[in-house]
A and B are shown apart, each in its own frame.
Chain A
């Protein structure tokens, strides 16, 4: 009876470990129960490639792709699909970030961009049935080779095809065969190298599991071409399923006379033996592999002589990798010309990669050479999970290198990879996101090769040990600047002095990261910073380490969990003079790195917990401040009362100095006051915080502009030191035609006027340009004034720098955001703005910021009728507000240039800090500069060396962990922030976020994972 459908159930190692054999049993039972056993054939297959979605079932002929199957799904599936012909949507694949399932395999992006040669039979045949392999042109190439081709012709064909070794080195396969064929000596041997050992690589295993005969056929053809009658397949013993399938394949091939004597009656004898390797990485090296088969310790020897002359049992031997062998029959069947048309100039055909790491569609992919890394990572791989940023892709495993984001558009071939310090390798491709530390990952690979070094060569054995020790030292924050030179010199020395590929390539992970990510090593060594917040010896906890103010987050959060609010406030105030502000407007880098938020979890609401403490202090009328040191006579002037100025004043006052702040505006607070709207940061709360700082003796002179009301020179002659922290209060121009219209109002100016209570006239239809916080603020303020507001942003939502909650809030309040749009001309009539001409954009290549550059789409211009245009595309210092002096250096962007290590301008005790130095940045970054400036000013005044000793992050105190009951553990859940309802927000500036209650705060604080304690423990035991 013919079957009307084939149920192709994946039985690769991965799917089996996810329960695919149970699914297969359940399918069989259910199909029998429904009386469909003559209609539906169940076929076990090798890996489909999308292993991360297993167990996988593909129903043919329609190619319906089911994923993540569970035993319980089977009855419904059989009834719906097999009985009633209705494919089950719930079990289909949904691409990341989308909602609609993609029913057919060939439409799934992961599959549709692949090109299968080595994996031509994957998912199409039962690997245990030789007839199915034969039905898909199996062994035809062998028949053709034996009956129609001379060995030399085969070698010529392989040479002409351009096939190169897929094991990693990329040596031309045809030339290798020829070398061996011409070698004197008999018998000759061919070997299949299936000693796959790179971490994260499983190409060879999958090919054997899916299509073992393709390798046998390739080897038999190779044997015939070279003149060998015996072949070995060297598989590591950790691959039991691959071994089992290969054994079955070998015995079936023998039965059919496709192995053994007089193959296909053509007079050629060839047989293979499967050799189980014990799983040593060094056996991937050919001379070690040969030693292992011969029963000797697997150690390499010097080449030449190459195995082609002097190989197994001292006889001429040809070794190729699994993937190379499986390509051979296709080349013979389809011809060298066909094959060589695929790929690039130097790299022909396809390459199988195992895509692993931080990638949505982890799995096995086969792609034409020359495809870009971006296509592999984003189109096939589906991008990075949880919208994290791409950092690097690592190819070639422990022998390979790291490729950074700006090279993502590079085509993949042997030469190009080598040029950028990586290698093709056997096909491991590990994708890393922004949370991967380069030093840590280099250490990981070095640890691996150090373990796997056979020990024969001193350079490899001892050298890897030294490299590892240096990396370990750097990851603990104990690195020295000379370490980088040693790493590089030693790395190159190991390459030269090692006998085999293991030693010759083991420094690559270090050398290639030094090439592309040197700044990250320097951050560890010089600044004791781990930018990815990974290295335990440096970071204590990711939240504390990432905070520009190094707030002791786990300590105060844990104290909140214990209800010890006052103690918690004390800890906060040690490092942050503006917790009410930060609790409201901080960008919370801590939450982005929170371990509880990994893999789609909910980060601890750190910002909200800080706000809770600050509100608690204010509402209870407490006044918790660190105790100032004894008063000193020296005086310091600060120009600007924004976050940098206030923070600097706070720490100088605590140190005992007499501080005066000069502020040109009528109110203190700088951008906090005039840049941020009241509904995010109510004025009375900010004022309370400023009053706290004043209570330390800080004097704030408002309405006083330095440079107009008082000269800078007067300040430095009257004060021991001066800090300039005037911020960036001037909006950037768009540089488009018609911009000078009076109805074009800069968002920063608009916000300032509103915040100072001044009247601003704007039209009914407002368009705000930009994607940052200022754009959102201006739009939401205009909306509150009753206007119709649109935001136009030139990139997509993913690239928007504004806080996520703010963007959501704006949309909720009825503000329309148009993405990929940019204004090109302002249209005015009789001095009245009528509209703007815009152009649509698309995303092109990646720019320096790691984001894809928006490029205008030709002919997509359109006009938009508006009355007021508000650019919010960036800020710079207002030159009229910066106290000038001919000795003070300024940049093209009008920022002040000071020494980055001291913030000192080099003259007359004048320092500068905050946005005026860094350009527009976050509140906490400005505060961190203010704090640092205070330390430097103190050193300057006390005539101490102006140096700063950077230290690893340590918690301020030890706070015991809170013991949770089972019930509490079960109920742990992030509380949602109470918000003012939409109706209550309209037409006023009432605060939108309402803050946590005491009960909510305690509950939320209990979710903290206390990473600091883990680090403490590791620190004491190691």
Chain B
């Protein structure tokens, strides 16, 4: 390990920033994949995988990806809730990996709600 200079501290921090964000629970955005039995059966895991790939390939550091259970609307699974800091949560329904990628790009990164997949705005706590 090389000796570090003051400026290196931020770089080291940056490499695990995503992990630390997750712990602190305070990202710029939080993406919740609903993974109840219904969600999993409808393909929530592939949606999750797609979102994880997006975060990885784009080297996104300020988004928390987490899961929750059934959102209560089993017929419209897989579902994802997107919460941008300071904005109401938006629920997306009937997702596929492709749709999820678009939601990620346009809403999570771009800040623009993908209305054609969105169910409604409204908040929900995981418990």
Contact = CB atoms under 8 A, between A and B. Distances in A.
Interface string B1-27: 111111001001101111111111101
A132 B16 contact: yes
Given A85-B36, A124-B24, A132-B16, A255 B6 contact: no
Nearest to A266: B6
B9 A134 contact: yes
B45 to A, nearest CB: 9
Interface in B30-45: 30, 33-37, 40
Contacts of B12: 131, 134-135
A665 B113 CA distance: 88
B9 A140 contact: yes
A744 B68 CA distance: 61
A38 B30 CA distance: 19
Contact of B55 (A2, A41, A262): A2
Contacts of A41: 19
**Interface secondary structure of B, over-half rule:** mixed
Given A4-B67, A85-B34, A264 B6 contact: yes
Interface string A82-95: 01111100000000
B23 A124 contact: yes
A62 B13 contact: no
A256 interface: yes
A465 interface: no
A7 B58 CA distance: 25
Contacts of A61: 21-25, 27, 30, 64, 66
B109 interface: no
A220 to B, nearest CB: 13
Given A4-B52, A62-B25, A132 B6 contact: no
A6 B18 CA distance: 11
Contacts of B30: 61
B126 to A, nearest CB: 5
Contacts, number: 113
A62 B9 contact: no
A62 B1 contact: no
B20 A132 contact: yes
A256 B127 contact: no
Contact of A257 (B3, B19, B23): B3
B1 to A, nearest CB: 4
B74 interface: no
Contact of A136 (B20, B40, B48): B20
Contacts of B46: none
A862 to B, nearest CB: 36
Contacts of A63: 25
Interface in B106-122: none
B23 A6 contact: yes
A61 B64 CA distance: 8
Given A84-B35, A134-B13, A3 B4 contact: no
Contact of B56 (A1, A8, A124, A255): A1
A255 B20 contact: no
B66 A8 contact: no
Contact of B1 (A85, A255, A264): A255
B36 A60 contact: no
14 contacts: A4-B22, A5-B22, A6-B23, A43-B23, A61-B22, A61-B25, A61-B27, A62-B25, A62-B66, A64-B127, A83-B35, A84-B69, A132-B20, A265-B5
Chain A to chain B: the 10 pairs with minimum beta-carbon distance, closest first: A257-B3, A143-B6, A85-B67, A135-B13, A255-B1, A61-B25, A60-B23, A85-B69, A86-B69, A85-B35
Interface of B: 1-6, 9, 12-13, 15-25, 27, 30, 33-37, 40, 48, 52, 55-56, 64-69, 126-127
Given A61-B21, A62-B127, 18 more contacts: A1-B56, A2-B18, A4-B52, A4-B65, A60-B23, A61-B23, A61-B27, A61-B30, A61-B64, A62-B126, A85-B34, A87-B126, A131-B13, A134-B13, A135-B16, A137-B13, A138-B9, A264-B5
